[in-house]
Structure 1
Amino acid sequence: MCVRASAYKTAPPQLGVLSKEQVDKFHRDGFLVLEKFASPEECAALQKRMDQLLQDFDPQTVSIFSTKNQAATTDNYFLRSASDIGFFFEDKAFDEAGQLRQAKELSINKVGHALHDLDPVFRQFSRSAAVCNVMRSLGYARPLPVQSMYIFKQPSIGGEVVPHQDSSFIHTSPLSCVGLWWALEDCTKDNGCLWAMPGIHKDGLKRRFTLGPGGKVSFDAPQPAYDLSQFVPLECPAGTLVLLQGENVHYSAENTSPVSRHSYSMHLVESAPGVTWSADNWAQRAPENPWQPLY
């Protein structure tokens, strides 16, 4: 299928209020690309704050994050990050002797998963009036932000993220996950932009990533095979917001370029009466530290 990615881009909403045409497009394709959603100043503020967080962390306390085989590499550090701000290295960050190949700032895969709650700069951005209006436009009565990530896609070592559905990791009954993904730098096919398959979300959820006894996590089904020729590249400039329906299948390739591809993402679910957070999701919060609704 040969489709121009520009066919999926729409005008930026005013203060996040989506038009009926944009909402219909989101439900039809399973994703929506909104350019100029975040200002250059907002993108710069998030990058500056992340620089500060990176300067303060100790590399001896972090985990390696696998974008290909998460079940085999998940550890307690990862599980605790549902209530914390964790730092995760790229697979290729270390040499054969276990030493970092380059500076820690150029070796981190991502930082997550409670930035939207615990860091004041990310919290303000994540809970802005524009974000609230997006969720209202999509019909959410009590949207609950449950996960946030700052993703670096480091030059030359930024790892591939295989085709997946966000609802595999963030599950409610009925399904309600939606992803908000902001490009903080220009995203191209060379530096690992998102690729999404239009309409695939209508085929339903294919597998789940679940938490079992003893804190062990696993997928309940093999990785489905997808025809990559059916995906379209979502190349976009900094400031773009990409909305991703939870059952949409999307991926990003390795960054083999000398240019980074920083992004920030947040996943939300409905938490109004009648929607239940699944007890075997990997991310859980203690009763004394609950997730906080957007509105």
Structure 2
Amino acid sequence: MVLHDPKKIIDESEAEAMGIVGNLSPDQLHSFNSQGYFVIESFASADDIDAMRKRMDQLLHDFDCSATASIFSTKNQQQSTDNYFYESVEKISFFFEEKAFGNDGELQQPKELSINKVGHALHELDPVFKGFSYSEKVSSLFSSLGYKRPIIIQSMYIFKQPGIGGEVVPHQDNSFLYTEPPTCTGLWLALEDATITNGCLWAIPGSQKNGLVRRFIRGEGGVTFDRPSPVYDQKDFVPIEVKAGSLVVIHGDLIHQSFENQSSKSRHAYSLHVVDTDGCKWARDNWIRRKVEPEPLYVSSSDLKFDL
């Protein structure tokens, strides 16, 4: 079976009829359906990794952090911070670690070691990251998952800085990037080895079967969750330790997290989130409100308008 959502399953004959050429094995598809994630080792080559890391080094070098730092280091600037966040959907924006600033509002380490992530339109605006994001192997993966007209709705370069790389609490990607029906799938590419020591991903296998727990809503007063988070038993989580170049494919309803990086080694990763736009509706109260629809990875069915 080929699938991208529990409510929407496509068998192999239907996939062939739509002209889909996928690259996933039956075992990988089974893992996605039963466990909510799977790992593809060596998905990115050493050259791919080197190109993305060097390009990010250049972007960081060129980044003037003075104006942006004031947004994140000054108290009672919530509206400015929110606006910076909202506008990042169609820009290459830089976000600082919570522990990057001292009590004096100044960075406590070089800017290269102070950034939490860069997002959310690297896949559109930077040629190196766009080349990987729109590659045939990424498109083929989503063909295997049954997507008809997938778009990359956001991209992030995540640093997980040594010593200050922040915790990411248990969450589901569909909470933030909701379509009706839910169709979000996350791709998490390790650009360095990810281990328990430096803050690898952790997940509750099979948790996607329980459906979406809560949503991250954008309203007039800003963004907030529509209900409190459940309390999860940490014994249910398993670590996903992977080598550089490995890709973790994550179901949108899978509960996953990562801990602080208290080690001396960073844990760089490049993340994409993809939703389908054929027969699906983008929720109006999502935090992302784009002016222009992203270019689809491919179109294998009727070219339907997807209103963002």
* Common fold: TM-score over 0.5: yes
Q: Deviations over 1:113-160 (max 9, x none)?
A: 000111110000001000001000101010110000000000000000
| Secondary structure of 1:95 counterpart | coil
- The residue aligned with 1:12 is none
- The residue aligned with 2:5 is none
- The residue aligned with 2:286 is 281
- The residue aligned with 1:291 is 294
**Correspondence 1:40 to 2:43:** no
Which structure would you say has the larger Rg?
A: 2
CA distance in 1, matches of 2:210, 2:185: 16
Task: Report the alpha carbon displacement of residue 72 of structure 1 after superposing the two structures with TM.
Answer: 9.8
Whether the 8 Å contact between 1:168 and 1:205 is mirrored in structure 2 is yes
Q: Could you tell me which of 247, 252, 275 is aligned with 1:246?
A: 252
**Correspondence 1:174 to 2:181:** yes
User: What is the TM-score of this pair, normalised by structure 2?
Assistant: 0.86
**Correspondence 1:28 to 2:34:** yes
- The one-letter code matched in structure 2 to 1:277 is W
- The residue aligned with 1:10 is none
**Correspondence 1:225 to 2:231:** yes
CA distance in 2, matches of 1:233, 1:24: 19
User: What is the TM-score of this pair, normalised by structure 1?
Assistant: 0.89
CA distance in 2, matches of 1:242, 1:81: 24
**Correspondence 1:17 to 2:20:** no
Whether the 8 Å contact between 1:165 and 1:248 is mirrored in structure 2 is yes
Post-superposition, which runs of at least 4 consecutive aligned residues in structure 1 deviate over 2 A?
60-65, 71-74
- The residue aligned with 2:301 is none
Whether the 8 Å contact between 2:160 and 2:199 is mirrored in structure 1 is yes
Q: Could you tell me which of 266, 271, 276 is aligned with 1:265?
A: 271
List alignment gaps of at least 5 residues for structure 1: 1-14, 66-70
The count of residues paired between Structure 1 and Structure 2 equals: 273
List alignment gaps of at least 5 residues for structure 2: 1-20, 73-77, 299-308
Whether the 8 Å contact between 2:22 and 2:143 is mirrored in structure 1 is no
- The residue aligned with 2:89 is 82
Whether the 8 Å contact between 1:62 and 1:86 is mirrored in structure 2 is no
| Secondary structure of 2:99 counterpart | helix
Tell me the percent identity.
57
